[in-house]
Structure 1
């Protein structure tokens, strides 16, 4: 066995979250050569994914006693469950990242980016950092991420016309209806494409409903393939049309070109396809920019997804049209993005020529602000992004600037007394400021509301003022 201490990743989340940990595994192998990599995860997810995973030794959660026998170089907890936080705290390790919880219930989040991630709960409207990048930003240098090259999705020969449709998602609001899928089947067949239905055991009934409604020749594989079999069959497909699901991440990781129908309360900037060269179709609505939970009477973001439009886009993707040509398509109510990388980070590149709106400008500012503050990235980018906000989104700029005196007043009071003037401050902060106030709220709790934690909150406000001059 290697003399170097192992590194451990705790990942108790679902299949998609485990796949989004794969880039971190690759980076860790390069950053810590010779250190064995251990991963503790749900056996039902990791066992079928092992053939696609970077090299690692996997442990099921009911074998945690084996992990206690080791002394680790680093423990990275990517899970939100209490069980994982307790284990991360009690294991012997030189360093830790992510949440830990002591037996007395006290909880601490290690790493500024992991703390930023906790601040996104119900507060991710302006977040533009992908989950896979947030997994790594505390430990992987920017140079290593920038130098990483992911293979583009493969292009099959022109006579390859099989298109996979993954029917399900973790919640009904995150996927199209059975009628949509049935209509899409007809539209695809009319364009010479051969749709194939995919889904796990939970989609067996949906697959039957779709085929009944379609009344058309379509291969229904719902519930018939294990994950490793799906990974192999996917190599024969020209395109995979899918909501935001674990199989979407597996398809993208294995090089199958994806068209992600991003609908419902998902944020494609956080959980869309990670490697570059895939496509995301999203409703062009302000509330769709970082939706945590829909508060409307119904899911209006589903309406623009018309089967005919999706089929035309799919046919052009199968034909090999580059992004530049796809950018000229008429997709009323929808926005098409291509996944790309910028300075080592995943980004969604909007393909139309619409000028940036308030949402895009403010999101870009906060991305550059936190990139400079937490990651040591170029501060000049934040100043430039702010100038764009003031020039093209003056209402947002006014709201943000107008709240700075109140933030200063509240946090100055906190330095003196250890508490806010008014606890309603967090909820009353304007949405445009909440990326910062949300982070500070988590940072104060992480620092036990000490005088130092309050002083650091004031420092963040001072940094904001410096960027907004």
Structure 2
């Protein structure tokens, strides 16, 4: 009798599918001999078949076959209601992710999947990457910690070849044509060889860039399959790209990335996952937003204005063009320059390279506290980690921690209004993680007494940590 397969429902975009690849590898290691089935969108997975871990892919049209099969595990990584409905019809020993029962009630199984759902419009202080969140409900943390990802390839034969991927899924997430024209010129001026890349949506953009630059620039937009782009990446020194599916493909296949993180994306969540890649982000308070709240009268979002072609070209030259010749390292950047690394527990982390002479901001320290609090609450590490982070935050920003305690006490007092939707929309930004997670915990269990006790316990634990500075 053959072993029961594992089912993954991943019906999101290409980038989401590629960020599921680490989970595929971990599941195959955890359940040897159990085939991996993936239900996804053919327009995304078909192009990735040569690059994917071993798996059998099914389109939505094959859902009947999925319903007739018994699985050892079903993991739903999609937020589509149709995916939740399919998960509810699947026979599996364990379910993780959104699940819709026969009576139409939708719930989320798995505390990390519940946490991720709670990040919608409340992710300002999140520091957990999507690829890690995909796995934490079903893969032991020590297995993640012992995984070693190859370093990206560098110092190739011709270090001047720089890929420019021009597109992203939304206009707000990609630079405009003027930026690409000026960047291409600046790279050529520095004796680098930019190559224009993209899919069908970037064909006209690439043609315009090529025409306006006025020099011979290799334009391969809409001329290569994803597998061919991956093969081309074997000879590129660096790929400059917004947050997009091909960026994740480049990181997966070992091509070093400089991610221009602009628009409504948070690089802590969807930056290049493997270690050794670079992320450039505007140094403004709203960077990493879920959705831009700038005035509609503005022609561009504020973060776009911080990406200057000349400065980006200088950074590219320092990261790739001069590597191995003069030994130059980037000395300056208009924004925060990070490199993707790992925590001691093996989870994704962005380590700041530039500027290297400033202390952590209040937001960064609050980000760190919240990530350590959730990790401690969900059993990843002991409770001393968030306590230590809170002490550091209090010493650096005492006024902030005092305000935090005031807001937290007010939240605790008003929990009796839990079913009032207006209550959940009033939380201050520093407490949005608590408001969002607590609301979702209550909704997920129909505001039961058990869920109310869960929220109370969570709040009291936060109060216990936050009050420690006040104790003698």
Q: TM-score range by the shorter chain?
A: over 0.9
- Structure 2 counterpart of 1:82: 81
Q: Is 2:156–2:235's contact at 8 Å kept on the other side of the alignment?
A: no
Q: Distance in 2 between matches of 1:374 and 1:134?
A: 12
1:307 counterpart (299, 306, 309): 309
Q: Does 2:463 correspond to 1:462?
A: no
Distance in 1 of aligned mates of 2:208 and 2:4: 52
Q: Distance in 1 between matches of 2:324 and 2:84?
A: 47
2:379 is the counterpart of 1:363: no
Task: Report the equivalent of 1:261.
Answer: 260
Checking the alignment, whether the CA contact within 8 Å between 2:162 and 2:194 is kept in structure 1 is: yes
Give the Å deviation of 1:242: 0.2
Are the aligned partners of 1:265 and 1:294 in contact in 2 as well (CA < 8 Å)? Answer: no
Aligned twin of 1:16? 15
Q: Partner of 1:75: helix, strand, or coil?
A: strand
Which string of whole-angstrom CA distances, capped at 9 and with x for unpartnered residues, describes residues 234-280 of structure 1?
11111100000000000110000000011111111100100000000
Name the SS of the counterpart of 2:195 in structure 1: strand
Matching of residue 320 in structure 1 with residue 318 in structure 2: no
Q: Look up the SS of the partner of 2:107 in the other structure.
A: strand
Contact kept, 8 Å, 1:399 with 1:432, in 2: the verdict is no
1:329 aligned to 320, 328, 331, which one?
331
SS in 2 for 1:99: strand
Give the distance between the partners of 2:117 and 2:379, measured in 1 at CA: 16
User: Aligned equivalents of 2:394 and 2:291: distance in 1?
Assistant: 27
Is the contact made by 2:141 and 2:380 (CA closer than 8 Å) also made in structure 1? no
Deviations 1:318-363 (A, max 9, x none): 13379x964x62223x110000011111011011232100110110
User: For the structure 1 residues 227 and 341, does the alpha-carbon distance in structure 2 shift closer, same or farther, using more than 3 Å as the test?
Assistant: same
**Counterpart in 1 of 2:136?**
137
Residue 102 (structure 1) shift: 2.5
Q: Which residue does 2:407 correspond to in 1?
A: 403
- Equivalent residue for 1:425, pick from 423, 426, 430: 423
Instruction: Write the distance in 2 (CA, Å) between the matches of 1:381 and 1:224.
Output: 50
Give the Cα–Cα distance (whole angstroms) in 1 for the partners of residues 289 and 371 of structure 2.
14
1:293 Cα deviation from its structure 2 partner = 3.0
What secondary structure, in the 3-state scheme, does the structure 2 residue paired with 1:83 have?
A: helix
Question: What is the total number of aligned residue pairs between the two structures?
Answer: 459
The whole-number CA distance in structure 2 between the counterparts of 1:454 and 1:199 is: 49
CA contact (8 A) 1:400 1:430 kept: no
Match of 1:452 in 2: 450
Q: Give the SS at the match of 1:182.
A: helix
C-alpha distance in 2, partners of 1:325/1:85? 51
In structure 1, distance between residues paired with 2:134 and 2:34: 19
Aligned to 1:234: 233
Query: Shift of residue 393 of structure 1?
Result: 2.4
User: Residue 345 of structure 1 is aligned with which of 344, 347, 351?
Assistant: 347
1:430 CA drift (Å): 1.0
Distance in 2 (CA, whole Å) between partners of 1:432 and 1:41 is 36
Distance across 2 between alignment mates of 1:44 and 1:236: 27
Q: CA deviation at 1:309?
A: 1.1
Q: CA deviation at 1:158?
A: 5.1
Gaps of at least 5 residues in structure 1 are none
Structure 1 residue 444: deviation in Å?
0.3
- Measured after TM superposition, the shift of residue 314 of structure 1 is 0.9
Report the equivalent of 1:104. Answer: 103
What residue number does 1:389 align with? 393
Partners of 1:372 and 1:379 within 8 A in 2: yes
2:183 is the counterpart of 1:180: no
SS at match of 2:258: strand
2:242 corresponds in structure 1 to 243
Question: 1:365 is paired with a residue of what secondary structure?
Answer: helix
Between the aligned partners of 1:40 and 1:158, the Cα distance in structure 2 is 40
Relative to structure 1, is the Cα distance of residues 460 and 321 closer, same or farther in structure 2, using a 3 angstrom cutoff?
Answer: farther
Q: Which residue of 2 aligns with 1:205?
A: 204
Once the two structures are overlaid, the 10-residue window that deviates more, 310-319 or 252-261, is 310-319
Give deviations 1:33-85, integer Å, cap 9, x for gaps: 11111111111111111111111111111111111121011100000101100
| 2:263–2:288 CA contact under 8 A, matched in 1 | no
Q: How does 1:24-103 map to 2 (within 5 A)?
A: 24-103=23-102
Provide TM-score, normalisation by structure 1. 0.95
Cα distance change on mapping 1:82 and 1:401 into 2, 3 Å: same
- How far is the alpha carbon of 1:388 from its aligned partner? 1.6
Aligned counterpart, 2:435: 437
Distance in 1 (CA, whole Å) between partners of 2:259 and 2:115 is 26
Equivalent pair of 2:292/2:301 in contact (CA under 8 Å) = no
Q: In the TM superposition, what whole-angstrom CA distance separates every residue of 1:285-336 from its partner, at most 9, and x where no partner exists?
A: 11004443343434111112111111111112213379x964x62223x110
Per mean C-alpha deviation after superposition, the further-off stretch among 135-144 and 227-236 is 227-236
Could you tell me which residue of structure 1 aligns to residue 378 of structure 2?
374
Task: Quote the RMSD (CA, aligned, Å).
Answer: 1.7
Unaligned stretches of 5+ in structure 2? none
